[in-house]
Amino acid sequence: MIVCEHVSCTYGNAPVLSDVYFNINRGEFVGIVGPSGSGKTTLIKAIIGAQPVAHGSITIASQLTIGYVPQVETVDWYFPVTVEEVIVMTRAKTKLWPRITSQERTEVREVLEKLGIADVAHRHIRELSGGQQQRVFLARAMFCQPDILVLDEPTSGVDVRTRHEILHLLADLHQDGLTILLTTHDLNGLAAHLPRLVCLNKTVIADGNPREVLTSKVLEATYGAPMEVLEHGGMPLVVDHGRVAMRGEGK
Amino acid sequence: MIIALDIFEPYGFQFFRNGLVVATIAGALCGLLGVFVILRGMSYIGHGLSHAVFGGAAASAVIKVNYFLGAGIWGVVSGLLIARVARRRVIGADAAIGVVTTASFALGLALMNRYGQASKSIEAVLFGSVLGVKVADIYAVALVALLGLAVVILGYRKLLFSTFDRDVAQVSNVRVSLVEAVLLAMISLTILVTMRVIGTLLISALLVIPAASARMTTNSFSRLLWISPIIGAVTCFVGMNLSYHLDTSASATIILLDAFVFVVVYAIAGTRNRAKMASLGHL
């Protein structure tokens, strides 16, 4: 449903992505991994149409609705809006009347219930926990009944429990037939659990299931640092070698 | 009885009644648009535009062109110049605004020094002149206020979405650049129709202070759109009256009153709400 061919993006004169080939089919659950500055967010923004493509093309199936969940860190949490107002925002294009209709209220309630946060509709966005914040923006993306959900770093800055919750929630949505694309820097906590991974550093270095992709060779090429992959409970576990000798260590 | 008579004394003057109407509508209008100005971090743009338009006002007076036409074109050209200069990433939009608008302001001053009539003092431009209010000014301000109200009501959802989350609004097919252009055009129109009456300095203050005060009283965007225009209108109305009795400049009195309201709200809102202001760090 999304095909990227020969995609390059630049910021000024600096290339951020070059010659990216990559596609997503309906029903897939894909994670993009790579170091900071590798172009993960840029690729996602190019796909949703918020970043111009310098070369190449991104073909998106017609009538495709994309639900986008931005990085939690980029949200202005002091902005004066309630959860309900945030979720209804996605209808901005079609609705002229400012007031939220009772029909919309019911729909907001339904989507919040589905995500297990039915009681927060009238709260200000500042008054939410980390997991709730992530779910509210997930709810906003779900509100327009998307064909594909695109999430930028859904687990950055959240604790272990919240990360599990988000992962389970996404797995459930995927189970229900939703296509999901996300970026992450969390190799063990998130990426290793996904059915398909794309390693990105300016260009696609590897693409496949975690068992094929999470190898020392691929990871070293992606991160430019030595990494080792162990096996733990039937899952690949990435360990980096960035060992620094601290003063007083071992005493 | 004497006090009661005193209060209504200025209402005997046509110029005062006209000035009061214009100032009150301008206060409400600036309060309404000010909400977007502070939430989008545009306060410097309002400040800059009002100074830039001043150059156009002076130039159109010198070459005897209609004020609205001359200052209007000048405002648009300044806006385009700012956008052009800001495209050089090393300079940045705030510095671009600083360069273009202060240059425009200085040019206006120089033109007035060289060719202006002696009766038009710099003070009248900076602080406005209630004496100069004509009936046409009332119509112009009222028309822009109605237009502003219509834009905010009909564009409410798009304005809210693109202010809160520009990228996602764009992905959701909201024409963000159009929304921003309309908002900027509304702010420019407001400056254009009120500058002669309430002055360059008051406009920039009115675009920021009532909205910032209102922001500390509520966490709701829709309520903010009520509270801010009310603060703007009331302070302008009371300020105009006070200025007559205290024999002070109308603009200075209104700004001081707005600042006073801000300080009172700030003190009452206390430490908990002060956190909200963290997001308005640019003010």
Tens digit of each residue's pLDDT (9 = 90 or more) over B41-51: 888 888 888 88
Nearest to B278 among A48, A75, A78 (CB): A78
- Separation between Cα atoms, residue A81 and residue A83, nearest integer Å: 7
Range name among A93-102, A207-216, B132-141 with the lowest pLDDT average: A93-102
Q: Does B164 touch chain A (CB under 8 A)?
A: yes
The pLDDT of residue A219: 84
> What single-letter amino acid sits at A100?
I
Count of C-beta atoms within a 10 Å radius of residue A13? 5
Mean predicted confidence (pLDDT) in B215-234: 93
Q: What percent of chain A has pLDDT over 90?
A: 20
Binned at pLDDT 50, 70 and 90, residue B12 comes out as confident
- Separation between Cα atoms, residue A183 and residue B109, nearest integer Å: 55
Taking the CA of residue A3 and the nearest CA in chain B, the distance in Å comes to 18
Say yes or no for a CB contact (<8 Å) between A98 and B157: yes
The pLDDT of residue A32: 92
Question: With contacts defined as CB-CB under 8 Å, which chain B residues touch A48?
Answer: 167, 171
Count of C-beta atoms within a 10 Å radius of residue B107? 17
Question: Are residues A39 and A200 in contact, defined by beta-carbon separation less than 8 angstroms?
Answer: yes
Nearest to A80 among B168, B174, B224 (CB): B224
The pLDDT of residue B118: 47
Q: What percent of chain B has pLDDT over 90?
A: 32
The pLDDT of residue B277: 56
Question: With contacts defined as CB-CB under 8 Å, which chain A residues touch B169?
Answer: 89, 92
Say yes or no for a CB contact (<8 Å) between B160 and A85: yes
**pLDDT at position B6 over 70:** yes
Q: Does A133 touch chain B (CB under 8 A)?
A: no
> Judging by beta carbons within 10 Å of its beta carbon (0-12, 13-18, 19+), is residue A88 exposed, middle or buried?
buried
Taking the CA of residue B166 and the nearest CA in chain A, the distance in Å comes to 9
> Judging by beta carbons within 10 Å of its beta carbon (0-12, 13-18, 19+), is residue A99 exposed, middle or buried?
exposed
What are B133-152's pLDDT values in tens digits?
Answer: 888 889 999 999 999 999 99
Q: Does B279 touch chain A (CB under 8 A)?
A: yes
- Separation between Cα atoms, residue B107 and residue A9, nearest integer Å: 42
Mean predicted confidence (pLDDT) in B161-170: 88
Q: Does B278 touch chain A (CB under 8 A)?
A: yes
**pLDDT at position B82 over 80:** no
Closest chain B residue to the Cα of A89, Cα to Cα:
B161
Taking the CA of residue A104 and the nearest CA in chain B, the distance in Å comes to 14
- Separation between Cα atoms, residue B126 and residue B77, nearest integer Å: 21
Q: Which of A217, A204, A210, A223 lies closest to A23, judged by CA?
A: A204
The 3-state secondary structure of chain A reads: CEEEEEEEEEECCEEEEEEEEEEECCCCEEEEECCCCCCHHHHHHHHHCCCCCCEEEEEECCCCCEEEECCHHHCCCCCCCEHHHHHHHHHCCCCCCCCCCHHHHHHHHHHHHHCCCHHHCCCEHHHCCHHHHHHHHHHHHHHCCCCEEEEECCCCCCCHHHHHHHHHHHHHHHHCCCEEEEEECCCCCCHHHCCEEEEEECEEEEEECHHHHCCHHHHHHHHCCCEEEEEECCEEEEEECCCCCCCCCCC
Nearest to B219 among A90, A98, A124 (CB): A124
Say yes or no for a CB contact (<8 Å) between A93 and B172: yes
Q: Give the mutation candidate from B87, B90, B160, B280 for the A interface (greatest A CB count, under 10 A).
A: B160
In this complex, how many residue pairs, one in chain A and one in chain B, have their CB atoms less than 8 Å apart?
82
Question: With contacts defined as CB-CB under 8 Å, which chain A residues touch B36?
Answer: none
The pLDDT of residue B193: 86
The pLDDT of residue B39: 92
Closest chain B residue to the Cα of A98, Cα to Cα:
B156
What are B117-137's pLDDT values in tens digits?
Answer: 644 566 666 777 777 788 888
> What single-letter amino acid sits at A235?
M
The pLDDT of residue B3: 58
Question: Are residues B141 and B25 in contact, defined by beta-carbon separation less than 8 angstroms?
Answer: yes
Mean predicted confidence (pLDDT) in A137-161: 88
Q: Does B165 touch chain A (CB under 8 A)?
A: yes
Taking the CA of residue A144 and the nearest CA in chain B, the distance in Å comes to 9
Say yes or no for a CB contact (<8 Å) between A79 and B169: no
Residues 6+ apart with CB under 8 A from B42: B36, B187
Say yes or no for a CB contact (<8 Å) between A49 and B170: yes
The residue that leads in pLDDT, B210 or B88, is B210
Closest chain A residue to the Cα of B38, Cα to Cα:
A79
Question: With contacts defined as CB-CB under 8 Å, which chain A residues touch B39?
Answer: 79-80
Binned at pLDDT 50, 70 and 90, residue A223 comes out as confident
Closest chain A residue to the Cα of B35, Cα to Cα:
A80
Residues 6+ apart with CB under 8 A from A221: A199, A201, A205, A206
Instruction: Tally the C-alpha atoms within 13 A of residue A241's C-alpha that lie toward its C-beta.
Output: 11
**pLDDT at position B279 over 70:** no
Mean predicted confidence (pLDDT) in A32-51: 88
The residue that leads in pLDDT, B62 or B230, is B230
Q: Give the mutation candidate from B40, B166, B167 for the A interface (greatest A CB count, under 10 A).
A: B167
Taking the CA of residue B76 and the nearest CA in chain A, the distance in Å comes to 27
The pLDDT of residue B122: 65
Chain B, window 221-260: residues with a beta carbon less than 8 angstroms from a chain A beta carbon: 221-222, 224
Count of C-beta atoms within a 10 Å radius of residue A146? 18
Closest chain A residue to the Cα of B280, Cα to Cα:
A78
Question: With contacts defined as CB-CB under 8 Å, which chain B residues touch A52?
Answer: none
The pLDDT of residue B146: 96
The 3-state secondary structure of chain B reads: CHHHHHHHHHHHCHHHHHHHHHHHHHHHHHHHHHHHHHHCCCHHHHHHHHHHHHHHHHHHHHCCCCHHHHHHHHHHHHHHHHHHHHCCCCCCHHHHHHHHHHHHHHHHHHHHHHHCCCCCCHHHHHHCCHHHCCHHHHHHHHHHHHHHHHHHHHCHHHHHHHHHCHHHHHHCCCCHHHHHHHHHHHHHHHHHHHHHHHHHHHHHHHHHHHHHHHHHHCCCHHHHHHHHHHHHHHHHHHHHHHHHHHCCCHHHHHHHHHHHHHHHHHHHHHHHHHHHHHHHCCC
Binned at pLDDT 50, 70 and 90, residue B194 comes out as confident
ipTM of the complex: 0.82
Q: Give the mutation candidate from A78, A84, A86 for the B interface (greatest B CB count, under 10 A).
A: A78
Mean predicted confidence (pLDDT) in A213-223: 84
Q: What is the mean pLDDT of chain B?
A: 84
- Separation between Cα atoms, residue B10 and residue B175, nearest integer Å: 48
Closest chain B residue to the Cα of A93, Cα to Cα:
B174
**pLDDT at position A39 over 80:** yes
Q: Does B174 touch chain A (CB under 8 A)?
A: yes
Count of C-beta atoms within a 10 Å radius of residue A225? 11
Say yes or no for a CB contact (<8 Å) between A45 and B279: no
**pLDDT at position B272 over 80:** no
- Separation between Cα atoms, residue A163 and residue A173, nearest integer Å: 15
Nearest to B174 among A79, A81, A92 (CB): A92
The pLDDT of residue B21: 92
